[in-house]
Amino acid sequence: GAGVSQSPRYKVTKRGQDVALRCDPISGHVSLYWYRQALGQGPEFLTYFNYEAQQDKSGLPNDRFSAERPEGSISTLTIQRTEQRDSAMYRCASSPRGQGAYEQYFGPGTRLTVT
């Protein structure tokens, strides 16, 4: 079946602009995660949802970052007033269950470049 999809795949934006990154998880997956990955590093946890409820947002760097998953499926990560340091690969992952440790399936990512 279809895997996790993300859009856009590439986004170039000017400093100060807002951006919205979209994640479409595997159908039926309860949990959805957002990560940020810098070159040469592993993914860094940002936030996650079970259904529509945001369970943990401790990894969001500051209040310019927010995420929502209003209907428990598609999620949007929004970065307001982008800065150059926000440039990175943003990855979304989903897993089939809300509790316990289950395999997380990653999407292809959105490469964000802030100029």
The H-or-E segment that residue 11 falls in is: strand 10-13
How many CA atoms does the CB half-sphere of 60 hold within 13 Å? 18
Question: Does residue 5 belong to the site contacting another protein (CB under 8 A)?
Answer: no
Q: For the residues of 86-97, what is the DSSP string, one character each?
A: G-EEEEEEEES-
- Cis before 61? omega within 30: no
Nearer to another protein, 2 or 101 (CB): 101
Q: Is 70 in the site for another protein (CB under 8 A)?
A: no
Is 55 a residue that touches another protein (CB under 8 A)?
Answer: yes
Q: Phi and psi (nearest 5°) for 59?
A: -90, -10
Q: Are 11 and 21 in contact (CB under 8 A)?
A: yes
* Number of residues near another protein (by CB under 8 A): 27
Closest approach of another protein to the CB of residue 48, in Å:
6
The one among 104, 110, 112, 114 contacting another protein by CB under 8 A = 104
Judged by CB under 8 A, the stretch of 8-16, 21-29, 56-64, 78-86 that binds another protein is 56-64
Least Å distance, CB 80 to another protein, is 24
